Structure 1
Amino acid sequence: MSISILNLGVSDTEQTKKLINKTFSYMVSLLMGIFIIAIISLLAIKDNVNTTNDRRDEFFLKKTLFTREENIRNQLKDYAEWGGAYKHLHTTIDLAWAWDKQNLGKSLYDNFGYEGVFVLSPEGRTRYSVLDGTLRLEDLDSWTGIATKNDLLNKLSQNHGMPMSVVTLINSVPAIVSAAWITTGSDTSVATLPGSPSTMVFIEKLTPQKLLTIGHDAGIKNVRALPVKGISQTENRAGFTLALNTGAVRIAWDRENPGEALIIFLLPLLILSVLLTICMTVILMRHIMHKARINDENSFLLEQARLKLITSEKRFRDVSETTSDWLWETDNSLKILWLSERFFRVTGFDSSEWTGRRLDELFPSIKDVFQDCLHRQEISGQIAFKNCPYINSKNSTAYCTLLAKFVVQYDGSVVIRGAANDVTQEVEATKRVQFLSRHDELTGLPNRYHIKEFLAGQLNKEKDYFFSMICLDLDKFKPVNDIFGHSTGDALLGEVSSRLKRCIRSGDFVARQGGDEFLILLADTSQLNQVEEVCRRIVQELNRPFSIDGNDVTIGVSMGIAMAPQDSSSANDLLRFADIALYEAKQSGRNKWVYYRQDMSEKLTERRKMAAELKTAIQEGQLSLVYQPRFNLRTSNVEAVEALVRWQHPERGSMMPDQFIPLAEETGQIIHLSNWVIRKACSDTLDKLPGLSVSVNVSPVEFQASDLADRIKNILEDTGLEPTRLEIEVTENVTLSDPERTCQTMKTLKQMGVRILIDDFGTGYASLSYLRKFQFDGLKLDKSFIFSLGDSQQNQSVVEKIIDLGKAYSMEVTAEGVETADQLSFLKKNKCDEVQGYFLGKPVAITDLNLS
């Protein structure tokens, strides 16, 4: 038998040797093929890298020349569209202003490198010129050496006098020639004369030194301008042809040839790597041959290990029936015989520390239960223990689910094999869910469910339990979220909860209801002064500024209080009554606390009834519009009217907007109400107010809806009113909530032609920066400023400054609430654009409107 085994090993060795040799041949051939492909690819990459580099250089040069041409046009626009230039260079040539004061003098040559600066009369004659930094009068064509003036003036006329430029050759040097008409620009203080305008011309020569500087800034060497004809193609030079007004020129530069550097660097490395790979392959093949011979000689040893593998395989197959993180084996007395490798990873203990010790030492909390189950189980039974706690190596509590099975071995002995599945995360997650079901995650305070549960328990135990329920709401919390972000708002809520805990007494209870609302349960409040003292502490604490992430935040607080057993002995009723009292506190002011009264529920019911009646009023035509004229002080005419809504209530009579608009905003009916008002105002204006514009007030709440611009567009299309005759009035506070969305909505409306006005300017919270960002068309000065004009000189100065502010932002200024001739005279004297008030016309029906 030994001889046959030996022959079998020799035969296997020869076959292995042939297979290895064949594999070696294939590998060498494959490596050579890869090497050839790599060489070809490297050459192709070289050419591609060079071409890409040339295209990049060409792109940068063209972009730089284009930018330079655009810059000279922008510079020219600043000088040409200038009231001072129009006055001193078109109306008359003022050398002292232009040259001596350097308004259009040597600084253009020193600072910008403009070799030629010309001012041409409408007939094309040079009236003023600065050449190479010196004051010298010379004809444009004479100085450039080419007839370019007439063509330049024709193109400028076709461009309506706006700055334009051409690139041409001046004495074989490429140059940028830019021209524009001299106008007064936005300066209304300079009068425009009849007749054709003068022309301002800037010329910059792209001299060799400037081209080298341009190339140096872009990392391109030796940039130069060459004539198109007679250029010889060299390997180390790249370029492109630049079309000019009078021909063409070749912009050339020296190539970097990064592809060659790539070849020089990579090719030797590639060859070296191939050689090293071949050498390593040869060594590896020899090593494999040696290992193959050893493997064949030792193959007979595998049979000896087969029986051991059967025993091991049986063990793991039995244990695999119970899925787990780590495996274990004990004898009948629970003495640990074996632990898998994952025991260390899960528990942190080395398996040698616990081998020989009892399993119930690791899980002491279930020791008695474990023993009882072991005595009751049959030999083939299976045991399961869920969520067994134990102390791991980090001295913290972890949890496992234990699964065990009795196993009879070949010698008849019985062992217990099982698995431990780590469920620490699941147990902690369950505890976390149970905690969050009764607590607020952000502040850690009990939630509404918890306090309601606690209330119900206390009321069931003690029928005459005296306590007070305070429902607390933070004032001015929403602007904190809008301005500083929700992370700051969350941090503020955490600070508020800490201060509230310091305000209450021992035995009291603080909970967070949600959002910026909290609940406080004051125990043993048979005396009213006990509640008053806590409320005063809360107001005092929460009125102190909060420092959050470097920001000083100031808020207020409103509180509603329900008391037991006076108001109710039901947990649900007490919470509801406290909410009603809180609503009353917020309606009557800030930093107040209000005790629940029976009539509050009646008021709330009345408010809900009024909300339903408002919905009916919109649907059934109980609303109407009145119009108040706006008088233009410049033209002494009525050019616009403001539409104001009225509600003719069947029982309450005529109601003003401030009596139902806030209710419409709270109940979400403001959209339907606004649609009706805008549609009615557009129809009335189109039919009965020819040539006049109409302004309509829009609530800041509507700007938070994404469809405001679409709604107004549809109404304009349905009614046929031109968008330029519609004006939307909004208060400053519209800029506070979601400024980006509000700005986008305003831009859409302005693109349609609708004008946007700030209503009640000076009474909101917006900063002056919003006047620039939101680009309002006009502002309406609040009537409170007009009423106080006669009180002091300071009040008059404030109005003057607001009018100047509006003018500075190019907005039309309208003064509201004009009721006396003195007020009108003052506003007219200070160049207010429009006025509106009872002195000029009260809000009336459109048929009674007096437009004279």
Structure 2
Amino acid sequence: MARTANLPPTSPTPRVQVRRLIAGFSAVFGLACLVILAALFNIAGTLDQQERQRSAFHANQALEQRLLASRQFLSSYAVWDAAFEHLAGQADWQWAYEQKNIGESLYSASGYEGVFVLENERTTYALFKGQPSQASASTYIDAPLQPIIDQARAAAIPREQITRFVLFNGWPAVLSAAAVRPDREVTDSDVAHAPVMLFVDQLTEDKLAVLGSGAGLTGMHVEKDQTKAHDHLRIELGDTGYHLAWSSPLPGRQMLRAVLPALAAALLILGLIMLYLFHHALRSSRAMGMTLTHLQQSNQALEASEQRFRAVAESASDWIWETDREQRLTYLSQRFANVTGYSVDDWLGHPLNQLLACDTTPLSPWLDALGTADPQQLANLRCSYRDQNGQNRYCRISARAIFHHGDPMGYRGTASDITDEVDAHARIQHLSLHDPLTGLANRNKLARHLEQALLRGSDSPPLTLLLLDLDNFKPINDSLGHGAGDAVLQEVATRLRDTTREGDLVARLGGDEFVLVLNGMDNRNEVDRFCARLIGLLQQPIDFDSQHLHIGASVGVAQTRTQGFDAGELIRCADIALYQAKADGKGTWRYFAAEMNQQIQYRRQLENDLRRALRNQEFELHYQPRYRLSDLRIVAVEALLRWQHPQEGLLGPDTFIPLAEQSDIIVALGRWVLREACHTAHDWPADIVVSVNLSPAQFLRSDVVADVREILLETAFPAQRLELEITENVMLNDIEGALGTMLSLKELGVRLNMDDFGTGYSSLGYLRTYPFDSIKIDKRFISGLGSNSGSDRAVVQAIISLGEAMGLTVTAEGVESEQQLKALEKDRCHEVQGYYLSRPLDGPGVEALLHHTPQITARPL
């Protein structure tokens, strides 16, 4: 009691002091744990949020780039003189689909499930997955079309397009729309009723997988709006009721899963140690000392935890940097070495602007401005640098100033590698200006190039524009497939690039049509030499799949010196000159001349008249008898086509057949001739053969065997009474295909006659290979029989002897005198035909000749 009384009444006992110390330390420890956990979860949340923002940015960028690419791709089809000419009003399916100007490749190569042309809400042209469709666009598209049409027309004058999200067959898709307009300046009235072209790009799983891969995202897909997936980010797809979603990695959660177990274990061990120390601290002061020792151990554990946090930072996808006040690097995370290939020590102490550069904003002033800005402001800038291998790379840096007592002490931030994103954008830009098959410039780049080259008008350097179209390309594409056609186009592109100079431009307009822009070349002799060399180069064989493919080229030439400095006018003039080159026999070049306009207009008017004539039954057949020379009896008649033109009167075939052969008219016209001849000759004597000429163009553009079979069945005409006259050009175009066709015709029972024999290159070889029944001696040799030309007589005798040796009937056409007839009789020719014996007669006339007059109708010898 005495000792107790001697103690100060307010002095706590050592046990109480220890308890107070334990309580205070426990509170501090618990608070430290809470602070550590709070900081850890804050870092994790920040990392997750940054990753979500990054992935959302890339997803939006990828989607915007796809919309931009779709608009630019559509522009090359909508702003096009030929498209406006063939799609305004009633769409020209032959030009659009058959000639593949707006055809199946838009689906197979470019991925557009729907292609439509609308005039108001009337669908004039529709492709569904590359195939023609009779359904209207509203059948597939679940959206009002008239507002889209109005917006597209409103955007036509500035050459713009619109895009929006719609439902296509019940699934989200990107719809791009543009008014079809000519490639020249237009007014509101020009486009007020212009047709509108729609391209529909359905967001399928495969496309989204490619889109996500290009943006560095995974699991990109389309969901209904009611779906609530917390681990997916989303972009609303307009008013479709769907949204675009993808999976975003959560580095913060990954960090928590990596750190929390280790941290919890450390805290648990530390807590047990503290409990043990606290227990003994109550017994002795020595235990208090031990507690202090264990507190030091706990500090070491905290340092280990900081090292773990540092390891997490080093494993992040971005690399972290820090500089001092002079912008010298003081810290770089290990990720820097993994991305750039440099060692961290190589760059510590060096200015940041020696590593990174920015073309638009100097880096040093940009960082200095952060020192006077809001301390919480986080700025971003795109920079470039070269890695250890010398490759140029791009990154987006974020930076924030480091303040101490209100003064900037340095800068800290992260750098995200965006090289793939920049490369993807560059590829999109390249595709918008280049043809994807050949790599040549497309219509967009051609237009830009001409706009720049012609900007100063008459002060611009002279320019020559060559419009080139391949000859004999369609048979290759049709017979060997698109693979062969693509290989030919790629080889042609290579040869054109090799032929031109560095300052020239080579562009592909589409199909097999190319444009060469020659800068500074204005002299005609120089242009002539270039065209001759170019055509000769393209006529050299192209190797494909162990075959030698042969094409040619026709060229139209326009020059600024004579045609002016308007790009559209230059192309139009070159197109007219190309048309003239093809009409003059192909494989040549022609300069534009003013009179060509009138010729082209006349030919186009004649072509329109031909189509009208087919509809209005303006054609008629005349028939020229063919006589057996031994008794001058009629054994056959040849059907000859005539056109009863409303203004120009009766026209012979030489006036319009060549024009018909340059288009699809020849197919319909050939079928009409065959059907009319079989129908008319059905009731003639059973021993009379009717002979019908087949154009080489029919072999290329139609199924001749199917046509003949159908018409024989339709008219009930005996096949053995039908003779088809075929020229050597048929064999020249496609040797194997022509042989198969002729064998099939022979199986039908018809006769085959080689027309104009003796004028070709390999007629004897053809007679041995092809199943001909007869041959016709060309009338040029017959006309020489009336003169003193011994060579023509020798040729005729040789042909007759050859025919007899091969068991063929030989017919001489163009017999116009008694002298010629006597010479042929002497040479034992089998059959004769010509004006001396009978002129061509109309149907009633030849029928009267066959039924009501004696068979011996020719003049007596």
Superimposed CA distance per residue, residues 449-471 of structure 1 (whole angstroms, 9 cap, x where no aligned partner): 54544444555534576846443
- How far apart, in 2, do the equivalents of 1:363 and 1:624 lie? 82
1:768–1:430 distance in 2 versus 1, CA, 3 Å? farther
2:532 is the alignment partner of 1:535: no
- Report 1:137-152 matches (<5 A): none
**Where does residue 322 of structure 2 map in the other structure?**
331
1:835 aligns with 2:832: yes
Structure 1 match to 2:782: 786
1:374-395 C-alpha deviation (Å, 9 max, x unpaired): 6578777665545x43223332
* 1:660 to 2:651 alignment: no
Q: Which of 579, 594, 612 pairs up with 1:616?
A: 612
Q: Tell whether the 8 Å contact from 1:786 to 1:823 is kept in structure 2 after alignment.
A: yes
Match for 1:573 among 569, 573, 579?
569
Question: 1:396 maps to what in 2?
Answer: 391
Q: In structure 2, do the counterparts of structure 1 residues 436 and 786 end up closer, same or farther at CA, with 3 Å as the change threshold? A: farther
For residue 389 of structure 2, what is the amino acid of its counterpart?
K
SS where residue 816 of structure 2 aligns? coil
Relative to structure 1, is the Cα distance of residues 763 and 397 closer, same or farther in structure 2, using a 3 angstrom cutoff?
Answer: farther
Conservation of the 8 A alpha-carbon contact between 2:465 and 2:558: yes
**Cα offset, 1:302, TM superposition:** 11
Q: Is the partner of 1:395 in helix, strand or coil?
A: coil
Residues 535 and 588, structure 2, Cα contact 8 Å, conserved in 1: no
Residue of structure 1 in register with 2:85 after alignment: none
Cα shift readout 1:737-757 (whole Å, capped 9, x = no counterpart) = 455554444444333223333
> Which residues in structure 2 correspond to 1:71-110 (within 5 Å)?
none
* Structure 2 gap ranges (5+): 1-260, 269-300, 404-408, 856-861
What is the CA-CA distance between 1:624 and the residue it aligns to? 0.5
Question: 1:415: Cα distance to partner?
Answer: 9.7
Structure 1 residue 644: Cα displacement:
1.0
Q: Please report how far the alpha carbon of residue 475 of structure 1 lies from its aligned counterpart in structure 2 after TM superposition.
A: 8.0
> 1:477–1:516: 8 Å Cα contact kept in structure 2?
no
**Are the equivalent residues in 2 in contact too, given 1:349–1:392 (CA < 8 A)?**
yes
Give the Cα separation in 2 of the matches to 1:508 and 1:786.
Answer: 54
Name the CA shift for 1:508/1:358 in 2 (closer, same or farther; >3 Å). closer
CA displacement at 1:665 relative to structure 2: 2.5
Distance 1:611 1:348, change over 3 A: same
Aligned residues of 1:384 and 1:404 also touching (Cα < 8 A): yes
Any residues of structure 2 matched to 1:24-39 within 5 Å, and which? none
Shift in Å, 1:676: 1.5
Match of 2:646 in 1: 650
Partner of 1:364: 357
Match of 1:817 in 2: 814
Q: State the one-letter code of the partner of 1:533.
A: N
| Equivalent in 840, 844, 847 of residue 844 of structure 2 | 847
Distance 1:499 1:624, change over 3 A: same
The correspondence for 2:637, drawn from 636, 641, 656, is 641
Contact 1:319 1:417 (8 Å CA) reproduced: no
- Alignment match, 2:466: 471
Q: Percent identity?
A: 34
Please state whether the residue corresponding to 1:688 is helix, strand or coil.
Answer: coil
Greater CA radius of gyration, 1 or 2? 1
* Cα displacement (A) at 1:626: 0.6
Residues 491 and 548, structure 1, Cα contact 8 Å, conserved in 2: no
State TM-score, norm by structure 2.
0.52
CA distance in 2 between counterparts of 1:405 and 1:729 reads: 88
Structure 1 CA distance, aligned partners of 2:817 and 2:390?
A: 85
Mark the CA change 1:549 to 1:658 in structure 2 (over 3 Å): closer, same or farther.
closer
Q: d(CA) in 2 for partners of 1:774 and 1:432? A: 53
| CA offset digits 1:703-730 (Å, max 9, x no partner) | 2335433333222222111223223323
Match 1:681 to one of 677, 681, 703: 677
Kept after mapping to 1: 8 A contact 2:263/2:305: no
Aligned counterparts of 2:585 and 2:729: Cα–Cα separation in 1? 19
Secondary structure of 1:721 counterpart: coil
Q: Distance in 2 between matches of 1:358 and 1:384?
A: 18
The code of the aligned residue for 2:726 comes to V
The code of the aligned residue for 1:780 comes to: K
Change (3 A) 1:457 1:415: closer
Which of 715, 718, 736 is the equivalent residue of 1:719?
Answer: 715
State whether residues 467 and 571 of structure 2, in contact with CA within 8 Å, keep that contact through their aligned partners in structure 1: no
Superposed CA offset, 1:552-574 (max 9, x none):
9896765443555x655533223
Question: Which whole-Å CA distance do the structure 1 matches of 2:311 and 2:681 have between them?
Answer: 90
Task: Give, as a single letter, the amino acid of the residue that structure 1 aligns with 2:357.
Answer: P
| Pairing of 1:224-239 with structure 2 (within 5 A) | none
2:452 and 2:581 mapped to 1: Cα distance?
A: 29
* Separation (CA, whole Å) in 2 of partners of 1:671 and 1:477: 18
Cα distance change on mapping 1:554 and 1:714 into 2, 3 Å: closer
Conserved? CA contact 2:457–2:565, under 8 Å: no
Q: 2-side partners of 1:772 and 1:402: how far apart?
A: 79
Q: Give the Cα separation in 2 of the matches to 1:809 and 1:368.
A: 94
| Equivalent position SS for 2:576 | helix
Separation (CA, whole Å) in 2 of partners of 1:687 and 1:730: 25
8 A contact 1:542–1:555 mirrored in 2: no
1:301 & 1:612 partners in 2: Cα distance? 87
Deviation of residue 695 (structure 1)?
Answer: 2.1
Q: CA deviation at 1:337?
A: 3.0
TM-score (norm 1): 0.52
1:485-564 matches, cutoff 5 A: 487=487, 490-491=490-491, 494-496=494-496, 498-499=498-499, 501=501, 515=512, 517-520=514-517, 523=520, 531-539=523-531, 541-542=533-534, 558-564=555-561
- Partners of 1:539 and 1:397 lie apart in 2 by 42
Which one-letter code corresponds to 1:461 in the other structure? R
Residues 1:692 and 2:688 aligned together? yes
- Residue 419 to residue 767, structure 1, CA distance change in 2 (3 Å): farther
Distance 1:350 1:629 in 2: 97
1:392 is matched by which residue type in structure 2?
Answer: D
Answer whether contact 1:733 1:765 (CA < 8 A) is retained. Answer: no
Deviation at 1:660, TM superposition (A): 0.9
Q: Shift of residue 794 of structure 1?
A: 4.0
Q: How does 1:716-795 map to 2 (within 5 A)?
A: 716-739=712-735, 741-764=737-760, 771=767, 774-789=770-785, 792-795=789-792
Q: SS at 1:759's partner residue? A: strand
Corresponding residue SS for 1:728: strand
Tell me how far 1:635 sits from its aligned partner.
7.8
- For residues 433 and 775 of structure 1, what CA distance do their matches in structure 2 show? 56
* Change over 3 Å in CA distance of 1:477–1:313 after alignment to 2: farther
CA shift, 1:646, in A, is 0.1
Give 1:578's aligned amino acid: A
Distance 1:405 1:834 in 2: 102
Partner SS, residue 394 of structure 1? coil
Letter in 2 for 1:393: Q
Q: CA, structure 1 residues 385+319, in 2 after alignment: closer, same or farther (shift >3 Å)?
A: farther
Q: How far apart in 2 are the matches of 1:571 and 1:465?
A: 13
Distance (Å, rounded) in 1 between the aligned partners of 2:690 and 2:305:
96
Q: Give distance in 2, aligned partners of 1:613 and 1:552.
A: 36
Other structure's SS at 1:842 match: coil
Q: Residue 733 of structure 1 contacts residue 766 of structure 1 at CA under 8 Å; is this kept in 2? A: no
Distance 1:513 1:488, change over 3 A: closer
User: CA separation in 1, counterparts of 2:816 and 2:700?
Assistant: 35
Contact kept, 8 Å, 1:329 with 1:338, in 2: the verdict is yes
Deviations along 1:103-144, whole A, 9 cap, x unmatched?
xxxxxxxxxxxxxxxxxxxxxxxxxxxxxxxxxxxxxxxxxx
> Residue 599 of structure 1: CA displacement?
3.8
The equivalences for 1:96-175 within 5 A come to none
Q: Deviations over 1:528-550 (max 9, x none)?
A: xx633333433554476776679
Structure 1 pair 663/508, CA: closer, same or farther in 2 (3 Å)? Answer: same
Structure 1 residue 422: Cα displacement: 4.6
In 1, Cα distance between equivalents of 2:309 and 2:468: 68
